[in-house]
Amino acid sequence: MSKKTLKSSEEINQLAEEFNNENPQKIISYALDKYTPNISISFSGAEDVVLIDMAKKIRDDISVFTLDTGRLYPETYRFIEEVRDYYNIDIDVYMPDRESTEKLVKEKGLFSFYDDGHNECCSVRKIAPLKRALEGLDAWITGQRKDQSPSRSNLPVVQIDPAFGGGELVKFNPLANWTLKQVWQYIYENDVPYNKLHEKGYISIGCEPCTRTVTPGQHEREGRWWWEEATKKECGLHSGNIRK
């Protein structure tokens, strides 16, 4: 990591307070100016494309990565290519380790998470690839929002990553204070691409076996890991949000 860009936890906490009421564009501009080229945007859903759109309007040399768990919807794979073409950007795709995936499937089958929780599967299909994606980075940008789940209710706009990087990785959450309505308002007003599954009742979209549509009045995250308790609904990317 580039030592000149690293900050102490105290400095990051102060930065979070300073930026808490700022618009996402200002936060992204600061992040890209401070940490490029050792910063990347994590991409999977609607919020992340909003980040890409904002970042691309700030500077052209942005870095974007996504995790291919091997169990995504066909619409999601097409969405990744649509975003790649629309913004004329490279998207680094990180996949699970073959041996680890084969071992899990051989020992426990393809749907063990319905019985013993999603953590083990996410560890193989998300956490391990994410660690590779974050290697060499000083910072990354995510589309997390406070209102997405109970585990994110205290999410700061910038933090020392609580799960990865050994205390030396900065994590920016520029949309932390936005609502789902604001995300979609930006998408419509700026003609931003989105996953066509959203037109079929999906709000929060992950792997096919772990995602379903929600009915009117249900919270967006009720369609993810619906068989688990709400405060535990975090995947590998943001497992540090869960309080021990």
Element (H, E) at 139: strand 139-141
Instruction: Report CA 97 to chain centroid distance, whole Å.
Output: 20
121 is catalytic: no
The residue type of 48 is D
Find the catalytic residue in 121, 122, 207, 235: 235
User: Which residues fall within 8 angstroms of residue 176, CB to CB, at 6 or more apart?
Assistant: 144, 145, 146, 152, 155, 156, 157
Neighbours of 165 (CB within 10 A): 20
Evaluate whether 142 touches 173 at the Cβ level (below 8 Å): yes
Token duo for residue 153 = 């209710």
180-189 vs 46-58: helix crossing angle, rounded to 10: 50
User: Which residues fall within 8 angstroms of residue 100, CB to CB, at 6 or more apart?
Assistant: 124, 128
- Residue 199, CA distances (Å) to 31, 45, 58, 143, 242 in order: 32, 14, 29, 20, 30
The catalytic site residues sit at 235
